[in-house]
Amino acid sequence: MVTLLVPAALRAETSGAGRLDVGAAGTLRAVLDEVSTRWPRLARRIRDEQGELRRYVNVYVDGEDCRQTGGLDTAVRDRAEVQVIPSVAGG
């Protein structure tokens, strides 16, 4: 089981849940594929139409930026925490 941490800005897509239990593990791609099935609105906020991470969304696996550790092929162990952080813009 993997825990997906959802920031307040995206909780409308999860009926208010800040922590989601995801059964998939192995790679970040597998985790996000399950998210796509169970929470499709959230998934569309994280990945684009080609299935790639959106530019303005940062994803961390156990505190490590996935863009530095293999992107969607980043290893995700059982009981890992995956954190999604959308960029904030404005002034």
| 54 occurs within a structural domain | yes
| 12 occurs within a structural domain | yes
d(CA 88, CA 91): 10
Element (H, E) at 21: strand 19-22
Element (H, E) at 43: helix 40-46
Domain that holds residue 21: 2-86
pLDDT, position 45: 95
pLDDT, position 91: 57
| 18 occurs within a structural domain | yes
pLDDT, position 40: 97
| 46 occurs within a structural domain | yes
pLDDT, position 25: 84
Overall number of domains in the chain: 1
The domain that contains 55 carries what CATH number? 3.10.20.30
| 30 occurs within a structural domain | yes
The separation between CA 12 and the C-alpha centre of its own chain, rounded to angstroms, equals 15
Local confidence pLDDT in tens for the 91 residues of the chain? 999 999 999 999 999 999 999 999 899 999 999 999 999 999 999 999 999 999 999 999 999 999 999 999 999 999 999 999 998 765 5
Element (H, E) at 49: none
| 91 occurs within a structural domain | no
